[in-house]
Structure 1
Amino acid sequence: MDELRPESREYLDGLFTPGQRIGGDPYTPYSWIDIVDVQEVAVIRLPSGRLVADSPWSAEPPHELALRVPPGTYPVEVSWSDVPSLINGCYFERRECAATRLRIRDEPVVTWELVLGVGEDPSGPRADRAGFEAEEAMGCFADATAWESLTAPFRRFLADLPGFGQPTGPGRDTEDLCEGYFELARDEEHRADLLAFGVPEGWAQVWAGRARDGEIAVIVVPGPVSTSPWD
């Protein structure tokens, strides 16, 4: 893969820095976002260290990352942004998820890399577009060994959807977090969890930040706010 461009590095470094303005021209309204807060959403269990980053709605085999993390429990954090909007001539700001990260180690990131999936060729034509199809503009972190059970609530929800003109079907068997921005599914048999979050419509990329010793410190998926320099 090509060397990370300076603007991409600046973007990734700033995603979890409160007070940072990201994207666009600072003198052009509505082309940037302000990072206002970083919040821990949940602690998830990854007993195998095999991490999936994919849409929980996907009917395809899960997008398991080629990298491994030490088996354990890890906090997932959200970076909140204030996004400028203009509707019917009125300006306002809305709170939105700028990015979601799995924090492996509490150490500064010194290098970033785009994370490939298992079996993907780092020299192949899609290496600079590594990621997953973001069905329903949703992604998740989950343990690969429990993927089928952890995504079962989403499959049941689709199966139970009513026909056109019928009342709304039952909700999903997941836990809502942060006023519905996140969904948590648990598998007590495998002692594993899945945390679902918003991502850009259509396609999402996964980035790993490494500490000075070369070990993975964080895994980041940018959120639905489209200001990234690789768009």
Structure 2
Amino acid sequence: MPMTAPDYTRMFTPGTAFSYENGTTGTLAPVEVGELALPTGRIVACDPFVNLGTGDVQPFTVEVAPGRYPVQAAVATLLRPGAEPGPRPHTRVAAVRLLVRAEPATSWELALLPGQDPAELGEDEFFGYDVDAGTGCFYDASADSAFPGTEDEEGPVWAAMEAVGDGPAVFFAEGEDGHGLAGFTSGWGDGSYPTWIGRDAAGEVVCFVTDFFVAPVGPDPSA
């Protein structure tokens, strides 16, 4: 069967811990990326340094009401066995969510593009977007041409990314006509990553989450 979603609620809970087989441990903490305007409610997720402005990326088939929605990153701080925490911790963006409603998600489904059918997926397969420049993003479909210069390594997206400094590698770019773009590094780098839609008990969309496969978080063992 296709890949199933882990417990993303725990990913965005401060202090959630995980570990790898090599003994490296991780602790997750939510970081605010910015408030994203969605004037059409049609959401695009992609690598902005590859796809933004090309017109080649379609929005997801599930839309939300036009509005402004917060985007948050689940940032993992990693520590090797026997190492002491330093002044510049090793962090990775584990997942990012666009929060539509402040309600718990009780079910998850893959965010799809037109023409994609989950019934065609094999064991543990998923539909996702390709990352070739180590970066992902969310933006409204109407904003695709609002960030000129990106393809030439210029403009607001590049400026916002370069201004990150030593902090968690997330950024918010302001484009033309009030459009925004929430950007973030993609976990360990290039690859293909799924976006999931969380729904509440009434079936309403509460969030979109892109998973970068950094944190192997399952059910809370204390529950």
- Whether TM-score is above 0.5 comes out as yes
What are the superposed Cα offsets for residues 171-219 of structure 1, whole Å, 9 maximum, x if unpaired?
9343645837123222342x32111111142111101111111111111
Take 2:149 and 2:176, find their aligned partners in 1: how far apart are those partners?
A: 14
* Mapped pair 1:174 → 2:160: yes
The answer to whether structure 1 residue 111 and structure 2 residue 107 are counterparts is yes
1:68 partner SS: coil
What SS is found at the alignment partner of 1:123?
helix
Q: Which residue of 1 aligns with 2:143?
A: 146
Q: How does 1:82-121 map to 2 (within 5 A)?
A: 82-85=77-80, 94-121=90-117
Distance between the aligned counterparts of 1:39 and 1:172, measured in 2?
Answer: 20
Between the two proteins, what is the percent identity of the paired residues?
26
Q: Deviation of residue 228 (structure 1)?
A: 6.8
d(CA) in 2 for partners of 1:180, 1:19: 16
Whose strand proportion is higher, 1 or 2? 1
Alignment partner, residue 168 of structure 1 = none
CA contact (8 A) 1:133 1:204 kept: yes
Question: Match of 1:21?
Answer: 17
Question: When the two structures are aligned, how many residues end up with a matched partner?
Answer: 206
Q: Which amino acid aligns with 1:34?
A: T
Counterpart Cα distance in 1 of 2:49 and 2:41:
22
Query: What are the ranges of 5 or more consecutive residues in structure 1 without an aligned counterpart?
Result: 161-170
Does the Cα contact within 8 Å between 1:199 and 1:221 map onto a contact in 2? no
Distance in 1, matches of 2:58 and 2:17, equals: 31
Tell me, yes or no, if the aligned pair for 1:52 and 1:144 is still in contact at 8 Å.
yes
What's 1:208 paired with?
197
Judging changes above 3 Å, is the alpha-carbon distance between structure 1 residues 180 and 3 closer, same or farther for their aligned structure 2 residues? Answer: closer
1:62-99 deviations in whole A, cap 9, x for unaligned?
A: 1421110111111111222221236xx95655233222
Checking the alignment, whether the CA contact within 8 Å between 1:46 and 1:71 is kept in structure 2 is: yes
Aligned match of 1:129 in 126, 129, 132? 126
Larger Rg: 1
Distance 1:157 1:228, change over 3 A: farther
**2: CA distance, partners of 1:98 / 1:19:** 14
CA deviation after TM superposition for structure 1 residue 157, in Å: 0.7
| TM-score, normalising length: structure 2 | 0.78
Higher relative CO (Cα under 8 Å, sequence separation at least 6) belongs to: 2
Post-superposition CA distance 1:106-129 (Å, at most 9, x none): 111111112111222232247932
For normalisation by structure 1, the TM-score amounts to 0.76
AA at the equivalent of 2:37: R
Residue 43 (structure 2) aligns with: 51
- What secondary structure does 2:120 align onto? coil
SS at match of 2:36: strand
